[in-house]
Amino acid sequence: MEQFIAVLIDGIIYSAWLFVAAIGLTLIYGVMKIVNVAHGSFYALGAYAAASITGALLAHGMPPYLSYAVLLGSALLVTVIVAPLIERGILRFMYAKDEVVILLITYALFLIFEDVIKLIWGVNPYFVAEPYGLLGSFDIGDLTYPYYNLILVGVAIVCGAGLYWMLKHTRTGKLLVAVIHDTEVSRAMGINVDRLYLITFTFGSLLAAIGGAYTAPTISVVPGLGVEVIVLSFAVVVIGGLGSLPGAALGAVIVGLVRSATVHYLPEAELFVIYLVMAMVLAFRPRGLFSIAEARKI
C-alpha cells in the first residue's frame, strides 16, 4: 500500500513538473500553429535567471522566504525581455511560411540560445538549493517528501486553472479561442491577431520560464537543461493532442504516473516507457487524446 501511495505521489510531482513545462508549448501551438522547439530554451532561461538572481539576493541577506517570490519574478523578468524580442524581431516575419520552416527556425533559435546561455552564464553549474529545504518535510510511512514539492504541484494547478479561466472568462481569452478556431476569419472580424500572437508567445514562454524557475532549487542548473524538457514536453502534448489544454494536463498525468509506476515496479523499462505510451496513444488516436476538431475549409 505504501509503495502504491509512493507511486501516486511521485507520479503527481513529476506530472506537475511536466505540465508546467508543456502547457505553454501547447498554448503556443494552439494559437500560433508553431511547434516551438525554443520552448526548452525559455525553461532553461527561467532556471538560470532564478538561480543567479535568487542566489545573489540570498547571498546579500534577503530573507529566505522571499525567495519563492523572487523565483517567479526572475522568470517574469527574463521572459518579458526575451520573448517579445523573439516574436517581434524574428517570428512575425515568418508566419506566412510553412509550419515546417517555422519549426526549423525555432530549432535554430534553440541552438542559438544554448550558446547565448553559455556566453552569459558559462558552463559551471548554478545552485539555489535554499528554497527546497526551507519549508521542511512531511512523512508518509517511511518516505520523506519536502513541502517544496507541494509548491510545484500548486504552481502547476495555478498555471493550468489560470490559463483555463483566462481562456473561458476574459475578453482576451475569448479572442484567443476565436484565433485558435480560425485565424483568417478572426482577422476579417477585426481581431488584432498580431497583438494576440505577441501575448500568446510571451505568456506561453513565461509558463516555460516559471517551470524552469521553480525547478531550479531541485537541480543543478547546467548547460543543456532545456533539451530533456523539450523532448518530454513534446511527448506530453502529442499524447494529449497538440493545442489542447486538457490534453496537456491528461498527457502529463499519464506520463507522470506511468513513469513513476515503472520506476517502482519495473525499473529496467524506465528508459522507453514514456515513448511506448506515446506510440500506443498515437496508434489509436493519431492526433492525440484531445485533438481539436477542425472545420473543413472549402
Partner 1 sequence: MNAIKKAVAAAAVAALIPGVAAAQDAPLKIGVVSFLSGPAAGPFGVPARNAAEITFEMLNNGKVPAPYATKGFGGHKLDMNLVDESGGTTTQVTEYRNMVQRDNVDMVIGYISSGSCLGIAPVAEELKKLTVFFDCGTPRIFEERSYKYVFRTAATATMDSVGAALYVRDLRKGKIKSIAGINQNYAWGQDSWSDFEASMKQLVPGVKVATSQMPKIFAGQYNAEISTVLADKPTVVHSSLWGGDLEALILQASPRGLFRRSTVILTTGETAMYKLAGSLPDGVVIGARGPYGPYAPHNALNTWFSKVFKDRYGVPPNYAAYQMAQAILGTKAAWEKAQAANGGKRPSQDQVIAAFEHLTFKSPAGTVQMANGGGHQAITGTAYGVTKKVHGKMTVAHIKRYPAAMVNPPDGMKAKDWIANGFKK
x/- map, 75-104, partner 1, by CB under 8 A? ------------------------------
Amino acid at 65: Y
In Å, how far from its chain's centre is CA 26? Answer: 9
- Could you count the other beta carbons within 10 Å of the beta carbon of residue 144? 10
Plot region of 162 (φ>0 → left; ψ -120 to 50 → alpha; else → beta): alpha
Q: Pick between residue 62 and residue 191 the one whose CB is nearest to partner 1.
A: 62
Name the minimum Å distance from CB 248 to partner 1: 18
How many alpha carbons lie under 13 Å from residue 182 in its C-beta half-sphere?
10
Amino acid at 206: L
DSSP H helix total and E strand total for the chain: 12, 2
Q: Pick between residue 123 and residue 295 the one whose CB is nearest to partner 1.
A: 123
Binding flag, residue 74, partner 1 (CB under 8 A): no
x/- map, 117-146, partner 1, by CB under 8 A? -x---xxxx-x-x--xx---x----xxxxx
Name the minimum Å distance from CB 194 to partner 1: 36
> If 0-12 CB within 10 Å is exposed, 13-18 middle and 19+ buried, where does residue 97 land?
exposed
Binding flag, residue 222, partner 1 (CB under 8 A): yes
Kindly state the number of chain residues that form the binding site for partner 1, as judged by CB under 8 A: 46
Task: Report the interface residues with partner 1, using CB under 8 A.
Answer: 2-3, 6-7, 9-11, 13-14, 17, 114-115, 118, 122-125, 127, 129, 132-133, 137, 142-146, 149, 217-220, 222-225, 227-228, 259-260, 263-264, 267-268, 270-271
